[in-house]
Chains A and B, each alone.
Chain A
Amino acid sequence: MAEMTVIEAVRSALREEMERDARVFVMGEDVGQRGGVFLATQGFIEDFGPQRVMDTPLAEASIMGIALGAAFRGLRPVPEVQFSDFVWPSVNQLIGEAARVHYGTNGALRVPMTVRIPYGGGIRGGLFHSQNVESMFFHTPGLMVVTPSTPYEAKGLLKSAIRNDNPVIFLEHKKTYRLVRGEVPDDDYTLPIGPADLKRTGGDVTVVSYGLAMHYCLAAADAVAADGIAAEVVDLRTLKPLDTATILSSVRKTGKLLVVHEDNISGGVGAEIAALAADAAFEYLDAPVARLCGPDVPTMPFAQSLEDAYMPSPESIASEIRRLAAY
């Protein structure tokens, strides 16, 4: 076991997969000599060469279209979107095209492509370096959407994504890159895409989250434990396909559900989970389903005061858990 950060885990997974399979290659803006703006591919160009560590023009639509075409030829591209905020020019190739390829060719073509996207806020990124883009992809059949929260998950899930024959949107919360450290096995391991992870067990309130906010939920669960409230924290790990069984099993046990995410509240992942609870766990609920999510404004603003007002925090989550526990 080695302790590493999330970005080190990402780098380690990428490197090992490129060593394991010559069809895997990375492409994107500044991924070559620069090693990526977050240094996910630091040192790669020296070891794998400019063809497999390809600096592209600053043109996201073609990064994705070209990656998709290379996947048609049997390669396993791992395009990097420099910041999630820049994914929009390429969204036609992802939502319009890649998601529809296997279905739209009746299974003839596969898309073994993993799109790495640093996302999320709390880093003073303002409107164009902080965005949460997951709900768009979460809504799209044909895609998989993965949201690791720890180094262990980042490495194991990224390896699974690269080995998967479907287009995977791999969302790395950029504030976790260097903030979150953890133990990572030395051997070659993978984590399956799909299953959620019970990060903490408790019988009073179910808290469902992912990414950076999941860490805030764990901190909040610690805080309310002092008041005798036992919160159960479900880390989704994968948004699509959603692990409905784990969510429902926990809700049926606690009877209370809080969903926490940084993305805007309306039409977000939390709305789907609330609907799931209403559909399939209605008789078990002892309180209305609660969502603590980003407000419906276009991403967290730049000013510290406004960013703080946007972001969920351990304190705001703890307060919501207490309210539900007392209901």
Chain B
Amino acid sequence: MTQANATDADSAIAIAQTSPDAPPLPDGLAAADLVEVCRQLIMVRTVDERIWMMNRQGKVPIAASAQGHEAAQLGSLLAARKDGDCFLFPYYRDLAVKMAAGLTPRQVMLSFMGKDGEPYSGARQFPLQGADLPRKIIQISNVVAASLTQSVGYALGCKMLGDDTVTLCWFGDGASSQGETHEAMNFASIHQLPILFICENNRFAISTPQSSQMAIGDVAARADSYGFPGFVVDGMDLIACYEAARQGIDHARRVGPSLVEMKCERFMPHTTDDDDRRYRDRDAVDAARRLDPVATFPALLVERGLLTPEQVDEFRAEAQQQVNDATDYADAAPPPDASTIYDNLYA
């Protein structure tokens, strides 16, 4: 984790790689935690790939892939889960956050296919959008940055009621351009609210590259102007993301807001409706895939003796089996009854 860089727009990603001789277990984690997050990582990727395939089969109308963002999402979510008292405002690309928070593959497939029993909105919204209150998640809309002020309001409410909850708010580099991002961070700092802002920066707002979004290298550099700390972390390094989020949660509870920018890669087009060949260099995408956490993280755990290659294979097989089951289950599930269209319009 490094301090944000406000001045050099062309700088390479300034990151602290996990040192090879670093202690194998980060603060607050047991070996079982890393094994479990590895299992989740493989599961999320398997689900994500299936969803894309189901879109091409005409059974999933729309999906935003999390492929390439999983280390950032799972690392930060792991910190929230270990903390045990966090409330989550993810954004639309955060499949891994939502699944690692406890959603089952069956629920995910119901959601992407718009079926009855969909857990976030009763299939009124885009997949996994709405609220999953049993897992302490709210994500209302697709208007980027609208959730930033809402999450700040949630944190304000927690502070007013005197509870210990820390609010986490994830957003993309695209949302960082919105005025509400500024308003949210400014207000959070004025009132020293218990919130952690996490920017998953994949350098593209759909097709618009970072150089057309901002004149600086690091979104996190803006934190300084609000009067709270900003950090840049390698978003392809799950353990580094865990560590950054853990510190951010601790800071939120002791002091107030901070901003962690996780530099990650978007392997897929913006959504299933997008064609990124119109604006992305294939060599760059291929190069990014060499950092794929679904390859590097299991390898790291094997290297550290926490997993055997056979166990990784078992995780893959288990994921395939569960995703097959979930796909069949959701495919056979009925859609919501049309007569429910007026339900829950007013409380």
Contacts and interface: CB of A to CB of B under 8 A. Distances in A.
Contacts of A166: 346-347
A61 interface: yes
Interface string A149-182: 0000000000000000110000000000000000
Residue among B122, B161, B183 having the largest count of chain A Cβ atoms under 10 Å = B183
- What is the size category of the interface that chain A forms with chain B? 35 or more
A70 B153 contact: yes
Given A65-B146, A102-B346, A57 B131 contact: no
B73 interface: no
B183 A61 contact: yes
Contact of B343 (A57, A74, A92, A107): A107
Contact of A106 (B122, B154, B186): B122
Given A51-B160, A75-B161, A110 B347 contact: yes
B184 interface: yes
A51 B125 CA distance: 35
Nearest to A98: B140
B157 interface: yes
Residue among A69, A77, A110 having the largest count of chain B Cβ atoms under 10 Å = A69
Nearest to B149: A65
A97 interface: yes
A67 B242 CA distance: 30
Contacts of B149: 61-62, 64-66, 68-69, 93
B180 A105 contact: no
Given A57-B187, A93-B146, A101-B140, A106 B130 contact: yes
A69 B151 contact: yes
A57 B344 contact: no
Given A57-B190, A62-B187, A92-B146, A105 B130 contact: yes
B2 interface: no
B121 interface: yes
A165 B160 contact: no
A100 B344 contact: no
A97 B146 contact: yes
Nearest to A66: B153
Contacts of B133: 108-109
A213 B131 CA distance: 42
Interface string A69-112: 11111110100000000000100110011001111111111110
Nearest to A74: B157
A59 B121 CA distance: 30
Interface in B171-202: 179-180, 183-184, 186-187, 190
Given A73-B156, A96-B146, 4 more contacts: A65-B146, A65-B153, A72-B153, A111-B347
Interface of B: 120-122, 124-125, 129-131, 133, 138, 140-141, 143, 146, 148-158, 160-161, 179-180, 183-184, 186-187, 190, 343-347
14 contacts: A61-B183, A62-B149, A66-B152, A66-B153, A69-B149, A70-B154, A72-B154, A89-B179, A93-B146, A93-B149, A104-B121, A105-B140, A108-B131, A109-B131
